[in-house]
Chain A
Amino acid sequence: MPLPPSITHSLGRKLVRLLLTVQGLGAFALITLGVILTKFRVARHVVWPATFQEIARAGLNLLPMFLFISAALGLLVIGQSVSWLTRVGAINYLGTIMVLVVVRELGPLLTALLVLARIGTANVVELGTARALGEVEALEALAIDPVHYLVVPRVVGMAIGIFALTVYLILGALGSGYLWAYLQNVPLRPGEYFRQLTGALTGLDFALLALKTFAFGFIIAVVTCYHGLAQPLRLEEVSFATVRAGAQSVIACVLIDALFILIYLSV
């Protein structure tokens, strides 16, 4: 029995809107990459300080929060896994579980989502407001490339910030994980824990961790900057753009994560 026209029309409209969004995001990402590569040395005295500022904003300024998150993450993983591992006599897999869960999956994804919430949403609001107030037209009138001046520092800053924060989170979680295991009287010496971690880690983990975190940073910055900047906006539309950007960034990060799982499984 065919679906009523209203449902098919609605589905069709949503599909077309999705395809147009993907097309727009793809084009914006390519433009941004092109500007990063071709205008690397242009206006260094303006763009490089802005980039360092964004690295601090998306990285350094979030360190205190991530100290807490890393401690909590270590507790979460160890707290849940210790009792079960002890029951099945597999406590010597504690390090492996920390690598699988924290290093490969939770660490990068959690970092990306937290940075999205703190900095990504701010990107949309700042750029959307700038768009609505005509600041982008002002840049164009001054022959200043808005992508070079507004987007590139955010993309580079977020990519580097998420990478650095992920490493920080992982180290903190691995350390706090052992601390919580110690507090739970798990019979595991530090040397043994370290040996388990290094045994579970491969060279591929380091390479893919770097790639994944840079990809998260790039995609979150591109999506949030796209929604703030790429289309004419009125002030009252900025909040809708922020919600849209947040949802699309989460989906994109999960899809990237799934892609990396496939890479892990195929190797």
Chain B
Amino acid sequence: MRGVTVGAMRDLSSVVVEDIDWTVAPGEYWVIAGLQGSGKSDFLMMTAGLMPPANGDYRLFGEPMPIFEESRLAERLRLGLVFETGQLFHHLTVWENIALPLRYHQNLSKADAAAEVQPLLKRMDLEAWADSTLGALARSWQKRVGLARALILRPDVLLVDSPLVAMDLRHANWWMDFLDQLSKGHELVGGRTMTLVVTTADLRPWKGEKYRFAALRNKHFAVLGGWSQIETERGELVRELLMTGARGS
């Protein structure tokens, strides 16, 4: 992204973040931190190509974004998105939700899609709910369905909006572990390393040198670097995101 300005999803004329200069290399694992209302979700929606940048140049794999043309669909499908609230299809079962993108883009029958869907169901511990509608699932399990749905097409880049929000410790640990495996290369996506971008309002679970950090505040996007830079800087925003504040660590 060069000089990119992001508008709000509901009102493109309202600026959320401006003048973003950011490059993501293949295989990197980025954590975009920002307090509530800083525009993390709008930023991720723009990154996913759901809306055009209000300004600037944004390219994904060298292709200008957003991509709407059928001729560039293959590039478009290299990007996966997991919404913060799942945003699953309530008229479909868990199995149908996960299978839909695969069946739609590859024109597969239910029987043909089963070979791809079943391993994902098993890895996400969702087998017992395969034929259930979403009302039967708690929010934390629905989010795993959203993750499976995003992974069914084996994207190269995965965007995850606030994966740990409203998660208990067990689910949070599962997510951290699974995203870690994805970034290193998981058999579910053919063993390829995946480029990950996650958003968060709490930096505490993300301590580690494997992550690269950026922050959103007051309509600005700042690349912070690695964890050691964060520990060194300890500016006001970083303190707030580490939940330390005036009382210290």
Contact = CB atoms under 8 A, between A and B. Distances in A.
B107 interface: yes
B100 A126 contact: no
Contacts of A45: 103, 107-110
A46 B100 CA distance: 8
Contacts of A149: 104
A137 interface: yes
Interface in A129-158: 129-130, 133-135, 137-138, 140-144, 149
B109 A141 contact: no
Contact of B104 (A43, A138, A232): A43
Interface in A10-25: none
Interface string B68-107: 0000010011000101010111110000000011011101
A133 B87 contact: yes
A44 interface: yes
Nearest to B152: A142
Interface of A: 42-46, 126, 129-130, 133-135, 137-138, 140-144, 149, 232
B104 A144 contact: yes
Interface centre among A44, A46, A140 (most CB of B within 10 A): A46
Interface in B1-47: 9-10, 45
A42 B91 CA distance: 21
Contacts of A130: 89-90
B48 A43 contact: no
A232 to B, nearest CB: 6
Interface string B133-152: 00000000000000001000
A149 B149 CA distance: 17
Contacts of B50: 137, 140-141
Given A46-B100, A126-B91, A133-B90, A141 B105 contact: no
Given A42-B107, A133-B90, A143-B77, 8 more contacts: A46-B103, A46-B104, A134-B85, A137-B45, A138-B83, A138-B89, A143-B76, A144-B100
Contacts of B45: 137
A232 B10 contact: yes
